[in-house]
Amino acid sequence: MIKMAKEVATKNAPNAVGPYSQAVQVGNTLYCSGQIGLDPATGKLVSANVVDQTTQALHNLQEVVKTAGFKLDDVVKVTVFMANVADFSEINKIYDQFFGNAKVLPARSAVGIAGLPLGAQVEIEAIASKS
């Protein structure tokens, strides 16, 4: 049986800044596009501060996951892209506030890169799965 892909979109997270979906669900798996620290109401970065941007990016991710009927506990893989690897410990503190109480912590990769869309300091993508 071929599983159909279903687009997931919410106004509680920023609109995509390019030709992609906020998330795509295939069966019991949800593939979330990277979220940056954009305020959904204004479409602008919440601040230049990496802590504020990380908090907003994770809140945005949480809203996308929730819209699809998943929870953060369903997240099995996270990739964090950061413009400055020196920010990793600050990003990690905020990440822990969102995922620290999970039954099973998601697998995670953290990648330092040269730049992100709209001058963001951090971008976070995830894959969630439920039975």
* Model confidence, pTM: 0.95
Output the tens digit of pLDDT for each of the chain's 131 residues. 567 999 999 999 999 888 999 999 999 999 999 999 999 999 999 999 999 999 999 999 999 999 999 999 999 999 999 999 999 999 999 999 999 888 899 999 999 999 999 999 999 999 999 98
Which residues, 6+ apart, have CB-to-CB distance to 50 below 8 Å? Answer: 82, 84, 87, 90, 91, 121, 122
pLDDT of amino acid 54: 99
What pLDDT sits at residue 73?
A: 96
Q: Residue 98's pLDDT is what? A: 97
Q: What is the largest CA-CA distance in the chain?
A: 47
- Report the phi/psi class of residue 14: left, alpha or beta, with left for phi > 0 and alpha for psi in -120 to 50: beta
Task: Report H helices in the chain.
Answer: 50-67, 88-99
Q: Which of 81, 80, 86 minimizes the C-alpha distance to 108?
A: 80
Task: Please give the pLDDT value at position 2.
Answer: 65
pLDDT at residue number 26: 97
Map out the domains of the chain with their CATH numbers.
5-129 (3.30.1330.40)
- Give the model's pLDDT for residue 3: 75
Per-residue tokens: 120: 């963001």
